[in-house]
Amino acid sequence: MTLHARRWLTPCASHRCATACRLAPTGYLSFGAAYSERYGETFFASLAEEDFLNTGVGVDAAAEYSRSGYRISANLDTDIALSIPGLAVDPFLDVSVYLDDHSWQESAYDSKRIGFDADLIFPVRQGVYLSAGYFYYDNSISNVNANTSPLVIAEQQVTSGAKLGLHYETLDTPVRPGNGVSLGLTAQYAGIGGDTNWNSLTAHGSVYQPLPMNGVGSISFVAGQIRTLNDEPISISERAFLGYDLPRGFAFGGIGPRDNDGGSVDTALGGETYVAASVESDFPMVETNSGAVYGGVFWDGGSVWDLHGTPVGASGVIDDSMYWRASYGVSVTWISGFGQVQLSWAEPYLSQPDDITQPLSVSFSTAF
């Protein structure tokens, strides 16, 4: 149920840029670090290049490492302009090949996905895009620990299907927007060959509004559901997981159905339905020639639930009911010439006994 972000309104997203656009810097290299109570110190690096060696191919690569595991991802992406007689605006074909490989002690298994996407994108009007595409990926789960829930098994599945999306965006800038709207709806069907047969629907939306004293207020949401079409359980690699960034105050995978027998087994199972929302505002606190400090307050809420059939794990029948979680908190962000430092504290006030909370998080990143 992963919704891959597209660069819908970025001027250089399509490699049909004008000369002036091509002369601008087209990539960045970034390094960063973060700290959380659950995962400790985490270090990460990423490389992004919109036009690698003037080939028209975009490259994105990232690596993340902590004492609890690692994650490596890479993506090659290109846009191909198409000319179709009778259309006022030419569509373009977005093609990408990607790899996502991660191993975390908390998940008790390793996961790897290698895939291919092809999307035909039609600009309907200013800010409105219709997309239709095909996706294919090979997903494998391996090295399952002995104390993992029996609902997680080592598996390798090929997924092949079609998707249709509608997107609307009027953001003034993709980085820290101050005004505008972003909405998206994507439907997917898996069953064109491959080993899986399901359909899914995902939606997301954000509204940004200027506030007095140069502040910015925002409201955002994400939601989705996946359903099997052949009465086979949905693989854990296709289910949704929430936590860490939304809702804040919880560890990633720290909410939702869980197989916890009170002893050796404690495995997050994810869910087939999810919804989350956030309300946030921030204001400049200190502004200098070298940067600015922003203070913010936020409220987050969300839930992930719903497993196929009546799942039975090490702890017996799994409770996959919908329980709402919510938190509130404060954040301080320092944006300077050498990077961005963000500290946030979230206090969960709606939770379940098996949830894993993570109130404090600190991150630092820089790019050049």
User: Structural domains in the chain?
Assistant: 93-367 (2.40.160.50)
What is the reported pLDDT for 26?
52
Q: Is the dihedral of CA 290, 281, 44, 72 positive or negative?
A: negative
Question: d(Cα 76, Cα 115) in Å, to the nearest integer?
Answer: 11
What is the reported pLDDT for 47?
80
pLDDT digits (tens, 9 = 90+) for 297-348: 999 999 999 998 889 999 999 999 999 999 999 998 877 665 667 788 999 9
The answer to whether 275 and 246 have CB atoms below 8 angstroms apart is: no
3-state secondary structure of 138: strand
The answer to whether 105 and 141 have CB atoms below 8 angstroms apart is: no
What is the reported pLDDT for 81?
85
pLDDT digits (tens, 9 = 90+) for 104-140: 877 778 999 999 999 999 888 888 999 999 999 999 9
The DSSP annotation for 74-135 comes to EEEEEEEE---TT-SS--EEEEEEEEEEEEEGGGTEEEEEEEEEEEEEEEEETTEEEEEEEE
Give the confidence band of 103 by pLDDT, cuts at 50, 70, 90: confident
Give the confidence band of 38 by pLDDT, cuts at 50, 70, 90: low
**Residue 345: how many CA atoms within 13 Å on its side-chain side?**
3
Averaged over 269-295, what is the pLDDT? 89
